[in-house]
Structure 1
């Protein structure tokens, strides 16, 4: 389900930049921390857009993603838009019993979630973006729990890879599933939460290994 459509969009100066696009099945609900289409609700598509390394605080992420998505033919319906400076064509996918996670992983600017004030000075798009699919109708509380579970699995993979941080300051996540809301749990020892955790762990571990290179 999470095999993305590899697309490109005008990146300025006559160049193009890559993007990943997914069209979701009908009657899909998602919870997301994305710059466009974040929150909880029905969603029709997801796009993960690669931006320049100098993209940052002076830009308007939501407006920029909306324009790019429209250019990719994704303006109709309700969508989710993500940004990253990581090469999106190096997307890694983890799969466990029907649960899938597509991850674009950048670890050049890691941070600890509980770092003191002043330890991070500027938003940068060196991001870990997770796009997750659970093939069971999770209830709203289970979707919230699934975000926690996926984040824990991401951090576990980073720690095992020797990355000095729990993530980056601009990480984002989307967890989507069929509507219906009958599965009550999404924690790491629930049926679907455990599968999600393993899929996320595999995708992030693979992405971290690729980002760190053979010396690690």
Structure 2
């Protein structure tokens, strides 16, 4: 893993980008190591739910990913200790990040199949097959304060709303993709914030950081995808 040089986006801990080769394909992995003293709420397959987290791994896999043991696959790549691991078919090396008032966000954005959350029943959606198709928009966000369980869940809602706002503003008529993943990290000690909504102090900062990171990622994806006009027209 090669450390990512600090920028104005900064962030706690150490962010590093690494590469591996699987089946002849060079794939990137982004590891955010925060160390002890943090806990996370996440929808990820590895380390999902609410619990302690010392690191978050966002690993790229091929678009035709077919392994039926994604958790074991993530554990093969993960460092020791408690953490969160997620997979994506998006180009991890093209990650984007942003910060706002101490809140930090890192996103990998792929919009091969933009999807509305409330799609008609029975409508075909290629993003849903195979079952373990990896998420294409993964977001990792962190705040330097403690949050109650309820505030963490509220923060996930806020992050998701900010993601959707960014996508629509960039011209993608969708709420995301069918297999997006999110992880929000907060300190494990100290006075707990009770709210994580978009008008709370830290929820607002999270929303702005995520919004900027996802907008940059969506813009970058559109600029490097030859069929972007067709994607936006869905």
Query: Does TM, normalized by the shorter one, top 0.5?
Result: yes
Q: Could you tell me whether the CA contact under 8 Å between 2:87 and 2:135 is conserved in 1? A: no
Runs of 4+ in 1 over 6 A off after TM superposition: none
Is 1:117 paired with 2:121?
A: yes
Match of 2:192 among 182, 201, 209: 182
SS across alignment from 1:48: strand
Alpha-carbon displacement from aligned partner over 1:106-144 (angstroms, at most 9, x marks no partner): 111111000022332425336100000011111111000
Contact kept? 1:107, 1:126, Cα under 8 Å: no
> Partners in 1 of 2:219 and 2:201 — Cα distance?
28
Q: Who is 2:176 aligned against? A: 167
Q: Is the 8 A contact 2:20 2:28 kept in 1?
A: yes
Within-5 A mapping of 1:120-159: 120-121=125-126, 122-123=129-130, 124-125=133-134, 127-159=136-168
Tell me the residue number matched to 1:10: 21
Structure 2 counterpart of 1:26: 36
Give the match for residue 5 of structure 2: none
CA distance in 1, matches of 2:105, 2:51: 19
What corresponds to 2:202 in structure 1?
192
RMSD: 1.7
> How many residues align structurally?
209
Q: Say which SS state the counterpart of residue 25 (structure 1) adopts.
A: coil
- Per-residue deviation, 1:164: 2.1
The answer (yes or no) to whether the contact 1:26–1:44 under 8 Å persists in 2 is: yes
TM-score (norm 1): 0.91
TM-score, normalization: structure 2? 0.84
